[in-house]
Copies of this chain bind each other. A is one copy, B any other.
């Protein structure tokens, strides 16, 4: 998934079934690999994407007739690529805005919706933004990424503060040159951590402050 608007990488099927429709990249699980290794391999081999910043399981899709012919059970993944990475793509492969998908093969549209939902949720309560952003960025660039992914305009001020309070951001000391129109140069930041973790431990029904009164932990 990528930036400016949130995008998915799809390839256009040449053959039946569902010729000409757009498909999520993937393939068969090999005998000696687990599903995550497998999806990474497929992405590298088939669409030449090797710079995934984050990968996680979404769900298993297993309706008996989800695909014509032999029965196929698929494990769907959410895989993210930073906005500054632009892998060279094969001819039949293209990025598509998530909010404006072409006709998709099989149940792939519902898989994409599920991925979008997962990403949106995690932007709120984890540091998953690191997976969308370049190594260094200004707050307003980051704001753009969050806005694109979430589908509504995020306030740069508040984004700053939420991420800062959680200790996710770190100034690099550098500043970015202003555009031709002028304006104060923006400070550059980076994410402190480059792997996903939950940063907003669920706000509700949290353990009591003081003594642990109750049962086993």
Residue of B nearest to A198 (CB): B121
Residue of B with least CB distance to A122: B202
- Per-residue CB proximity of A37-74 to B under 8 Å, as 1/0? 00000000000000000000101101110000001010
Cross-chain contact B62 with A217 (CB below 8 angstroms)? no
A125 contacts B204, C-beta separation under 8 Å: yes
Q: How many copies does the complex hold?
A: 2
On whether the beta carbons of B204 and A124 are closer than 8 Å, the reply is yes
In the complex, identify which listed stretch (A9-17, A151-159, A181-189) lies at the interface while the others stay far away.
Answer: A151-159
Contact of A31 with B by CB under 8 A: yes
Stretch in A80-88, A131-139, A205-213 touching the partner: A205-213
Taking Cβ atoms with an 8 Å cutoff, the residues of A that contact B are 5, 29, 31-36, 57, 59-60, 62-64, 71, 73, 75, 99-100, 121, 123-125, 146-148, 150-155, 158-159, 162, 200, 202-208, 212-217
| 8 interchain residue pairs of minimum CB distance | A153-B214, A124-B202, A153-B213, A34-B62, A152-B214, A35-B62, A152-B207, A99-B216
